Amino acid sequence: MRIGTWTLPHPVCVAPMAGVTDRPYRRLCKALGAAYAVSEMAASNPALWDSVKTSRRLDHQGEPDPIAVQIAGADPDMLAEAAVHNIRKGARIIDINMGCPVKKVCHVASGSALLRDEPLVARILNRVVAACEPLGVPVTLKTRTGWDRDSRNAVRIARLAEDCGIAALTLHGRTRCDLYTGEAEYETLRAVRQEIHIPLIANGDITTPEKARWVLDYTGADAIMIGRAAQGRPWIFREMAHYLAHGTHLPPPTYGELSRHLLGHLEDHYTFYGEHTGVRSARKHIGWYLADLPGADALLADIMTVEDTAGQSARLRRWLEDRPADAPVVPFSTTLH
């Protein structure tokens, strides 16, 4: 699959997730087999570019190409300016968010709220593509199937995106009003695939290698994007890529591998966020890594009260050292967190 001049080595990608897909997490996922990763949603408002939160989201130091930055907003000129700003900071692909369902985004007519205004969608796409094209940077779009089940417009939006010069479309198989409930609408993705020629990336409820194979076959999508199923399981990308290529399963990671990946992730996380924010924001990642493991309940209860990074990592290291390094880490539930 190609996005502009970039060719992905296989079809398994990381979905952008606010508060999750920061630079340390993206680097880890790419190291563990993700073909492509999109940043957390970055604000298009120039007044926010120097804020700590946005500055972190625009930090790509040490991240392998292609660096893809997702921008959000509702003003075409502001989004175009944000795209150029991010290209100057290293972005090689610009992704436009029209899929975020959270209230604080939709209340400012951004994210998936834009799906209710197709003329505005066209203005945004045309303006951003026009700004990026002279710089040789492709623009992609991530969206949903519609605002609600009575107003699904994914096919029209997809055609519009192709007509405006969008290089690839990622479609989450739910409406905005569905949030993350119910089952993904793969039939809608299939209908979209039949109407457009640009690459289509399927997103939503893809939790196992077998499900990845089925979704690609059923929808005709060119790639899949994994979100919640990768939380605490960053090796899911190599597992899915291997299964799609060979039809066989890789062995589960060992406790030695878990220790190396988890502690390495935390070290990068602490460095990126600093002591105060690092120890607190790491708790969710630790919870995802250990939630399904036998004997982890007491450790997790303890970890959530630790107030310093050294103490947090030391407790984890001791717990992991008590497990045989070559023992497989099982079972891993596919339940979404």
Q: The whole model's pTM is what?
A: 0.93
Cα–Cα dist 38/18, whole Å: 11
Q: CA geometry: angle at 114 spanning 109 and 120, to 5°?
A: 105
Residue type (1 letter), 138? P
Which residues are known catalytic residues? Answer: 100
User: How do residues 45-66 score in pLDDT, each as one tens digit?
Assistant: 877 777 788 778 878 888 999 9
CB half-sphere exposure, 256, CA atoms < 13 A: 4
DSSP 228: G
User: How do residues 247-270 score in pLDDT, each as one tens digit?
Assistant: 999 999 999 999 999 999 999 999
Question: Got the DSSP string for 280-336?
Answer: HHHHHHHHHHHTTSTT-HHHHHHHTT--SHHHHHHHHHHHHHTS-TTSB--------
User: How do residues 109-143 score in pLDDT, each as one tens digit?
Assistant: 567 789 999 999 999 999 999 999 999 999 999 99
CA 95 from centroid of its chain's CA atoms: 11
User: How do residues 190-235 score in pLDDT, each as one tens digit?
Assistant: 999 999 999 999 999 999 999 999 999 999 999 999 999 999 999 9
Average pLDDT over residues 166-172: 98
